[in-house]
């Protein structure tokens, strides 16, 4: 006598009718995604409207959708400001946030430590050093080359960290993190050295880049980063299962048939690539990869099917907001986005540590 109790579960299944596909996702995920997206759009519009050149949000919408009346006095200016300056910049911030948040989520998954993120693990520093080196040594570096250089630097760093933390028992998460911290320190020092003695004319500008900034980012940046995300983000989302099993511990993961070391390495490569692309476009921005997954976990639970996509959206939203704050808080001057994330992210993270110890 099997009575099926139709009680509401916390999860839902996705089984499209004509595709051999099936997926289980936390019920909270789609709704949360929608909410975050809507909030992001609102913040986006407001962010575009804010600036030295004031445009009302309604006019922003009109400009974006191309419905600005032809006889509008400042139509040409609006188009310029919105489409050439602000939109690409804010979109860059969004994409960078997506990349960093996802990278952080993956790193936390493979190290089983909620305190891991590309900045802390020195991966961002490796990417930054490579990018700065290229800029210093070569003239007229094409933008599309930078993410590859950054990826090379970040990957070399990640592999070095991985190899150095390897013992016969495997790559214990604690060692991974501590060695990552060491790398971050020395790579940061080398980057400073490059900047101090390199030919970058404006040292101040170099500092800004290092601090992480989306100032002056244009459509080329958006396209470059967008291309990398197009490949990497789906890979990350589809790796959810592997991340879930790794989260249960190496032994149980092995018992379930996971090839633990191989999976960890592959996932590391994906997260490093994400971080590197972000650094190449916007410099070393910290704390997004730390805070975004943390908050997302509280919203939709630790299962990565929902965690990865929502974290990506949330990270994007956070950076769009951070960019707005950076532009408005000491207007007309601009606080680089990386500094905003550090100034807000660090205390917030300490607060999280305190509340959930």
Partner 1 sequence: MAVKTKQAASNTTRLLSSRALLFPGLLITALLLLVCLMWSITLGAADITPEVVFAALFSFDQSEFDHLIIQTVRLPRVLAGALVGAGLAVAGAIMQGLTRNPLADSGILGINAGAAFAVVLAVYMLGNPSLSVYAIAALIGAAIAAVFVYGIGSMGRGGPTPLRLTLAGVILTAFVSSLTTAILIQDQETLDQIRFWTAGSLAGREIPLLVQTAPIILAGIVGSFLISRQITTISLGEDVAKGLGQNTLRVKLYGAAMVVLLAGGAVALAGPIGFVGLIIPHVARFLVGVDYRWIIPYSAVLGGLLVTIADVAARIALRPQELPVGIMMAILGAPFFIYLARWKVRR
Partner 2 sequence: MDDLIRIDDLSLSYDGDTIIVHQLNLRINRGTITALVGSNGCGKSTLLRGLSRLLKPVAGSVHLDGRDIHAMKAKDLAKQLGILPQSPSAPEGLTVHELVAQGRYPHQNWFQQWSREDERIVHEALVTTNLTMFADRPVDTLSGGQRQRAWIAMALAQQTDVLLLDEPTTYLDLAYQMDVLDLLDDLNAEGRTIVMVLHDLNQAARYADDIVALRGGQIVAHGTPEQVMTPENILQVFGLKAEVITDPVTGTPMCVPIGRRGQRRRERQVSLSANGKVRESVKIP
Q: Which residues are at the interface with partner 2 (CB under 8 A)?
A: 9-11, 13-15, 20-24, 112, 168-169, 238, 241, 244-245, 247-249, 251-252, 254-259, 297-298, 301-303, 305
Based on the shown chain and the rule CB under 8 A, indicate whether residue 199 belongs to the binding site for partner 1. no
Q: Please give the Cα distance from 265 to 31 (Å, whole number).
A: 33
Question: Is 222 or 335 the residue whose CB approaches partner 1 more closely?
Answer: 335
Our finding on whether 295 is near partner 1 (CB under 8 A) is no
> Rounded to the nearest whole angstrom, what is the least distance from the CB of residue 120 to partner 1 in the complex?
6
From partner 2, partner 1, none, which one binds at residue 192 (CB under 5 to 8 Å depending on kind)? Answer: partner 1
Applying CB under 8 A, does 338 fall inside the site for partner 1? Answer: yes
| CA-to-CA dists, residue 215 to 114, 126, 132, 202, 338, angstroms | 30, 22, 17, 15, 11
* Consecutive H or E run containing 67: none
Return the structure tokens found at 9: 């579960």
Q: Is the CB of 213 or the CB of 296 nearer to partner 2?
A: 296
DSSP for 139-179, written as a single string: SS--TTHHHHHHHHHHHHHHHHHHHHTEETTEE-HHHHHHH
Q: How many residues bind partner 1 (CB under 8 A)?
A: 47
3-state secondary structure of 200: coil
Name the binder of 22 from partner 1, partner 2, none, CB < 5-8 A by kind: partner 2
Q: Is 122 exposed, middle or buried (0-12, 13-18, 19+ CB in 10 A)?
A: buried
- Partner from partner 1, partner 2, none binding residue 92, C-beta < 5-8 Å depending on class: none
* 225 neighbors 143 (Cβ within 8 angstroms): no
Binding site for partner 1 (CB under 8 A): 115, 119-120, 164-165, 167, 172, 174-175, 177-179, 181-186, 188-190, 192-193, 196-197, 203-204, 207-208, 210-211, 286-287, 333, 335-336, 338-339, 342-343, 346-347, 349-350, 353-354, 357
């Amino acid at each position: 006598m099997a009575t099926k109790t139709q009680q509401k579960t916390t999860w839902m299944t996705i089984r499209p009718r004509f595709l051999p596909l099936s997926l289980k996702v936390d019920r909270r995920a789609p709704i949360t995604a929608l909410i975050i997206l809507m909030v992001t759009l609102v913040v986006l519009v407001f962010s575009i409207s804010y600036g030295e050149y004031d445009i009302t949000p309604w006019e922003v919408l009109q400009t974006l959708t191309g419905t600005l009346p032809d006889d509008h006095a400042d139509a040409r200016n609006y188009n310029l400001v919105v489409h050439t300056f602000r939109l690409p910049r804010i979109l860059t911030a969004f994409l960078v946030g997506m990349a960093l948040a996802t990278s952080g989520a993956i790193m936390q998954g493979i190290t089983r430590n909620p305190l891991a993120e590309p900045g802390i693990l020195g991966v961002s520093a490796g990417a930054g050093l490579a990018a700065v080196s290229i800029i210093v040594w070569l003239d007229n570096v094409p933008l599309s080359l930078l993410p590859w250089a950054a990826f090379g630097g970040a990957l070399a760093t990640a592999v070095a960290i991985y190899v150095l933390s390897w013992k016969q028992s495997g790559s214990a998460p604690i060692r991974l993190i501590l060695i990552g911290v060491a790398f971050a320190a020395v790579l940061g020092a080398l980057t400073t050295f490059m900047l101090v003695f390199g030919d970058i004319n404006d040292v101040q500008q170099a500092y800004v880049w290092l601090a992480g900034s989306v100032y002056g980012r244009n459509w080329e940046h958006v396209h470059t980063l967008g291309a990398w995300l197009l490949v990497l983000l789906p890979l990350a989302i589809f790796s959810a299962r592997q991340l879930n099993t790794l989260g249960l511990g190496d032994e149980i993961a092995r018992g379930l048939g996971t090839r633990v070391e191989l999976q960890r390495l592959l996932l590391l490569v994906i997260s490093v690539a994400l971080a590197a692309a972000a650094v190449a476009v916007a410099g070393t921005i910290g704390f997004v990869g730390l805070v975004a997954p943390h908050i997302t976990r509280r919203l939709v639970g630790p299962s990565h099917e929902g965690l990865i996509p929502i974290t990506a959206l949330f990270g994007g939203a956070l950076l769009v907001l951070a960019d707005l704050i950076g532009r408005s808080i000491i207007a007309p001057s601009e606080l680089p986005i990386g500094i905003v994330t550090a100034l807000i992210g660090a205390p917030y993270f300490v607060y999280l540590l305190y509340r959930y110890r």
